[in-house]
């Protein structure tokens, strides 16, 4: 079935063309580069995996309860709109909400794949080209995973959110080689990584938990890559050049904040967008969710050296300044451990099942 048959709204079947700017940079320096980036490149090679084999796609998913989380996570819970809904309509709303969330993940991962390929082309140093090549493969795998999940398990797809599309457009159309890093590795990937983590930790359903845990294992490396590259480069920039990057971050953070409101979901249920914004603001879950979504972005922005009073004021106004105290290395280590523990638990259980089958066969033969 074509993805276009599953979209909740009509989508232009032609491609979205973003004009490329800037130079494609070759380097004739093939000596070893920075040890930290080369180590990350080696890790990127070592950690490649096949989604067909690693993920248990036989697990069932109820499209009307994809994540198995409390209804309090829905912005309209407890409002007059919620009270007048039937149980069938509430199930439809859960389906739309999960479809919207995973659809934005899918679109964002395609943006990440294209941006990683753009970094291979435009970044001047070979060690960064090496690592970005592994990331491009990672992002292709993620697009594959989210597409399959939406098509086979949910059966509904949302078009790309306009705020996400705007940020992708700005990221890809900027001629400066560091801007794809800043827009994708720091902002889009940082927010996605935090969103993955929240859903991974609260879902009670095994398939989305597997998907998000394994994708996060890759994404943690990607954010680390952006930090390393930009931290080194931004030390060399003038105050004026840094200010331009800071303004890009501020605009991007507002786009990301507005993106998570999910206005498209609610308008499909006949709710006015202005009222949606008010409900999101008044929802304790959504306020908590928003603050957690910036848990990766804020400390990363600080770490790479974009920490002017203007940046701090913006994060304070958004209510996420305290996230600057977060330990990114500890969060990434935790992401790795959760994925590895999930593997261990899954494959240990499968081994136990196989052993039980063998023991049963042996016992049956001994009794005959």
Q: Is 32 left (phi over 0), alpha (psi -120 to 50) or beta?
A: beta
| Domain count for the chain | 1
Query: Is the predicted pLDDT of residue 358 greater than 60, yes or no?
Result: no
**Residue 42 covered by a domain:** yes
**Residue 148 covered by a domain:** yes
- Tell me the two tokens of residue 224: 């680390």
Tell me whether residue 166 is exposed, middle or buried, using C-beta atoms within 10 angstroms of its C-beta: 0 to 12, 13 to 18, 19 or more.
middle
**Residue 368 covered by a domain:** no
φ/ψ (deg, to 5) at 7: -65, 145
**Residue 164 covered by a domain:** yes
Q: How confident is the model at residue 226 (pLDDT cuts 50, 70, 90)?
A: confident
Tell me the sheet residues that pair with 7.
Answer: 157
**Residue 338 covered by a domain:** yes
pLDDT tens, position by position, 7-23:
988 898 888 888 877 88
Tell me the sheet residues that pair with 157.
Answer: 7
Written as one string, the DSSP assignment of 299-334 is HHHHHTT---HHHHHHHHHTT-GGGGG--HHHHHHH
Can you say whether the dihedral through the CA atoms of 252, 246, 327, 214 is positive or negative? Answer: positive
**Residue 20 covered by a domain:** no
Q: What is the CATH number for 245?
A: 1.20.1260.10
Confidence at residue 359, expressed as pLDDT on a 0 to 100 scale? 58
**Residue 18 covered by a domain:** no
- Which of 67-81, 109-123, 268-282 comes out lowest in average pLDDT? 268-282
Task: Please give the residue that has the higher pLDDT: either 94 or 270.
Answer: 94
Q: How confident is the model at residue 4 (pLDDT cuts 50, 70, 90)?
A: confident
Confidence at residue 99, expressed as pLDDT on a 0 to 100 scale? 97
pLDDT tens, position by position, 37-73:
888 889 889 999 999 999 999 999 999 999 999 998 8
φ/ψ (deg, to 5) at 157: -135, 140
Confidence at residue 286, expressed as pLDDT on a 0 to 100 scale? 76
pLDDT tens, position by position, 235-246:
999 999 999 999
Query: Is the predicted pLDDT of residue 284 greater than 90, yes or no?
Result: no
Q: How confident is the model at residue 360 (pLDDT cuts 50, 70, 90)?
A: low
Q: What does the alpha-carbon distance between residue 215 and residue 156 come to, in Å, rounded to a whole number?
A: 21
- Supply the range of the domain harboring residue 78: 3-9+34-363
**Residue 50 covered by a domain:** yes
- Please say whether the beta carbons of 241 and 51 come within 8 A: no
């Amino acid at each position: 079935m074509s993805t276009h048959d599953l979209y909740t709204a009509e989508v232009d079947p032609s491609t979205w063309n973003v004009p490329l700017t800037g130079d494609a940079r070759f380097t004739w320096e093939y000596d070893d580069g920075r040890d930290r980036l080369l180590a990350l490149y080696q890790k990127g090679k070592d950690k490649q995996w096949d989604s067909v084999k690693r993920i248990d796609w036989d697990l069932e998913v109820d499209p009307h309860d994809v994540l198995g989380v409390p209804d309090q996570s829905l912005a309209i819970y407890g409002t007059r709109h919620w009270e007048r809904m039937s149980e069938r309509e509430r199930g439809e709303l859960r389906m739309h909400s999960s479809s919207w969330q995973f659809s934005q993940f899918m679109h964002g991962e395609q943006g990440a794949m294209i941006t990683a390929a753009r970094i291979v082309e435009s970044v001047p140093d070979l060690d960064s080209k090496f690592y970005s090549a592994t990331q491009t493969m990672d992002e292709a795998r993620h697009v594959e995973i989210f597409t399959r999940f939406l098509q086979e398990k949910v059966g509904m797809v949302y078009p790309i959110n306009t705020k996400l599309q705007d940020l992708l457009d700005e990221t890809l159309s900027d001629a400066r080689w560091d801007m794809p890093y800043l827009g994708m590795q720091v902002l889009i990937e940082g927010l996605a990584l935090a969103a993955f983590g929240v859903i991974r930790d609260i879902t009670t359903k095994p398939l989305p938990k597997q998907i998000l845990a394994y994708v996060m294992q890759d994404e943690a490396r990607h954010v680390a890559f952006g930090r390393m590259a930009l931290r080194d480069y931004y030390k060399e920039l003038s105050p004026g050049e840094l200010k331009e990057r800071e303004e890009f971050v501020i605009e991007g953070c507002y786009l990301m904040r507005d993106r998570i409101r999910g206005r498209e979901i609610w308008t499909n249920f006949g709710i006015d967008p202005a009222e949606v914004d008010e409900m999101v603001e008044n929802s304790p879950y959504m306020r908590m969710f928003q603050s957690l979504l910036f848990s990766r972005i804020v400390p990363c922005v600080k770490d790479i050296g974009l920490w002017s009073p203007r940046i701090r004021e913006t994060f304070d106004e958004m209510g996420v300044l305290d996230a600057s105290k977060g330990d990114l290395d500890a969060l990434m280590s935790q992401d790795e451990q959760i994925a590895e523990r999930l593997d261990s638990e899954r494959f240990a259980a499968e081994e136990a099942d196989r052993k039980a089958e063998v023991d049963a066969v042996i016992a049956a033969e001994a009794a005959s």
